[in-house]
Amino acid sequence: MKLLMLIVDESRKEELEVFLNRAGVVGYTEIPHAIGVGETGPRLGSRAFPKTSAIIFTVVEAAAADGLVRDLKEYCRDCGERLKIIVWGVEDVL
């Protein structure tokens, strides 16, 4: 199994959720209003830097992970929005 962590602009969160549902992802956990600083600049939810990100975690079968990542990259290209994808190996879900 693989754990995918998806970091997306908060304004694109619902669009990404629809994408995941259509891709057959049956469950995920979301952390809304994430703040931080990275390549896209500060996302601090403040008056000076009002943007925030959403972080979505999902665990999928290893065989499905490569296709899902490929489709997410294509989705990212189509919508023009930057999307960070981090993939970890998962030994077990208890």
Per-residue pLDDT reduced to its tens digit, 62-91: 999 999 999 988 887 766 667 899 999 999
34-60 pLDDT, tens digit per residue, is 999 988 789 999 999 999 999 999 999
Residue 23 lies in a domain: yes
**Per-residue confidence (pLDDT) for residue 18, from 0 to 100:** 92
**Per-residue confidence (pLDDT) for residue 81, from 0 to 100:** 67
How many CA within 13 A on the CB side of residue 13? 18
Residue 21 lies in a domain: yes
Domain count for the chain: 1
Residue 36 lies in a domain: no
Residue/partner pairs of 60-64 with CB below 8 Å, 24 or more apart = 60/1, 60/2, 60/4, 60/25, 61/1, 61/2, 62/1, 62/2, 62/89, 64/24
**Per-residue confidence (pLDDT) for residue 80, from 0 to 100:** 65
Q: How far is CA 18 from the centre of its chain?
A: 12
How much is the pTM? 0.88
Residue 43 lies in a domain: no
Residue 87's CATH number:
3.30.70.120
Q: What is the mean pLDDT of residues 17-21?
A: 93
How many CA within 13 A on the CB side of residue 85? 19
Residue 71 lies in a domain: yes
